[in-house]
Amino acid sequence: MISFSLNRLYFSPDGDLVPEFRRLFESVFRRPEPYLRLVAALGKASGGLTREELAQSAKVCNTGKLTRWLRELEQSGFIKVFLPFGKRKKGAIYQLVDAFVLFHFRFMETARAVGKGFWSMAADLPERRAWEGLAFERVCFMHSREIKEALRIGGVLTELCAWRSERKKGGAQIDMLLSRRDGVINVCEMKFSTGLFSVTPDYARKLANKIAVFKEETGTESAVHLTLVTMNGVKRNENASIVQSEVTADDLFRT
């Protein structure tokens, strides 16, 4: 039913939602062009962009006007700003978080090329699997409070931030860090899967390297715990011991 509705509303030439993207921005902003350029640039960068990277990608001047445009996009709920770990606002990472706008940029060109019925045919495409992972990450960002509650740290003063390695080679990126006043940092990895998520040897090595690079570059004295946020939990295998805490989709929507 969901696939049928998407095919009819969005992936058919006369679908009701085909012109909705443009109408959305025209209804919010008097002059939508600069805002469209900014969200288009962010739509190509799943990990987000710094202000300088965004100005360059969107081909806009890094001036007070950019400050206003970004503030208004954030106030409208299209983007979210994540402060970098251990730094102040300079170096902040801007991410596109509006679900409809993200969906539009991820599938607009492919869908127009394939035509009607695209969503039903795309079930096994890598692009759709990548989209599911990205969409799940954005849901997790929207429920950071519930993640804290699931970890039983709701009463601990916690800063939600992101981190990027400064290395050009062998670096790493962490999209969600929970830096706690009690001397613990939760490195949150968000992984989508329809069943139990299996930590492979390769993924375990990547996680260990990411944490090692983070500790080395930041020089943090806090304990670093790896938290895996998944749809249905983590499969118990020889590699799962690297995970110190788990959060599931049920925790995100627990009432």
138, 154, 169 - which closes a domain:
138
Tell me, what's the pLDDT at 186? Answer: 97
Residues 9 and 132 placed together within one structural domain of the fold: yes
Tell me, what's the pLDDT at 213? Answer: 92
pLDDT digits (tens, 9 = 90+) for 95-122: 999 988 888 887 765 555 555 566 666 6
pLDDT digits (tens, 9 = 90+) for 18-27: 778 889 999 9
Residues 22 and 108 placed together within one structural domain of the fold: yes
Residues 59 and 104 placed together within one structural domain of the fold: yes
Quick one: how far is CA 13 from the chain centroid? Answer: 30
Distance CA 230, CA 226 (A): 13
Closest CA to 208 of 168, 160, 243: 243
Residues 130 and 6 placed together within one structural domain of the fold: yes
Question: Domain holding 100: CATH number?
Answer: 1.10.10.10
Residues 179 and 199 placed together within one structural domain of the fold: yes
Tell me, what's the pLDDT at 1? Answer: 47
**CA 134-45-122 angle, 5° bins:** 45
Both structure tokens of 8: 């009819």
Q: What is the DSSP letter of 198?
A: P
**CA 249-177-97 angle, 5° bins:** 60
Residues 6 and 132 placed together within one structural domain of the fold: yes
Tell me, what's the pLDDT at 176? Answer: 92
Residues 128 and 27 placed together within one structural domain of the fold: yes
Residues 45 and 155 placed together within one structural domain of the fold: no
Residues 9 and 72 placed together within one structural domain of the fold: yes
Q: Which phi and psi (to 5°) does residue 221 adopt?
A: -100, 0
Residues 171 and 210 placed together within one structural domain of the fold: yes
Q: Give the total number of structural domains in the chain.
A: 2
Q: Which residues contact 39 (CB under 8 A, 6 or more apart)?
A: 73, 78, 79, 96, 98, 101, 105
- State how far the alpha carbon of 95 is from the alpha carbons of 2, 81, 98, 193, 234, in Å: 27, 6, 9, 23, 27
**Domain residue limits at 72:** 2-138
Residues 126 and 222 placed together within one structural domain of the fold: no
Partners of residue 177 on adjacent β-strands:
161, 187
Tell me, what's the pLDDT at 123? Answer: 65
Question: Domain holding 152: CATH number?
Answer: 3.40.1350
pTM for the full predicted model: 0.81
Distance CA 140, CA 97 (A): 11
First CA to last CA across the chain, in angstroms?
Answer: 27
121, 138, 155 - which closes a domain:
138
Distance CA 201, CA 105 (A): 33
Q: Which phi and psi (to 5°) does residue 235 adopt?
A: -70, 135
Handedness of CA 102, 130, 250, 142 (dihedral sign): negative
115, 138, 161 - which closes a domain:
138
Low-confidence ranges of the chain (pLDDT < 50): 1-2
Residues 147 and 81 placed together within one structural domain of the fold: no
